[in-house]
Amino acid sequence: MSVDRLVEKLNAISPDVGAVVVFTGIVRSEGGKLKGLEYETYTKMLEKVVDDLKGEAVRRFPVFGVEIEQKLGTFEPGEVTFVVAVAGRHRQEAFEACRWVVDEFKRRAPVWKKEL
């Protein structure tokens, strides 16, 4: 799903959405040392972690909704591989929730990356 579609989806949750904060993870080249990254996962386990994080974020922070997308496969430098979008009434809580979701996803998600 594109970033624009994630924002549209979250914005449609409530007329009280005043901010959608988006974090994008992009493959970097490490000064030309990396040709890309390869991501893999156990899909069912990843789906559970994503669902759990979305629910926890809405309970923990005063936000309307969260979307998380982790792309799988091989990607070149400059490509977006990970997106978290959070809708809130105000930017402060959306930023706080987004940071928490990104950090928890990196800690919990069964995603492995291989440097190429």
**Percent share of the chain, pLDDT over 90:** 92
pLDDT above 70 for 74: yes
Q: How high is the pLDDT of residue 2?
A: 80
Cα–Cα distance for residue pair 8/81, rounded to 1 Å: 19
Per the structure, the count of domains in the chain is 1
Residue 1 has pLDDT above 80, yes or no: no
Nearest to 20 by CA among 67, 74, 54, 79: 67
Question: Which runs of E-coded beta strand occur in 32-71?
Answer: 37-41, 63-70
Instruction: Inform me whether the pLDDT recorded for 27 exceeds 80.
Output: yes
Residue 70: C-alpha distances to residues 21, 25, 26, 31 (Å)? 17, 9, 11, 24
Domain range for 75 is 3-115
| CATH number of the structural domain spanning residue 92 | 3.90.1170.40
Helix (DSSP H) and strand (DSSP E) numbers for the chain: 3, 6
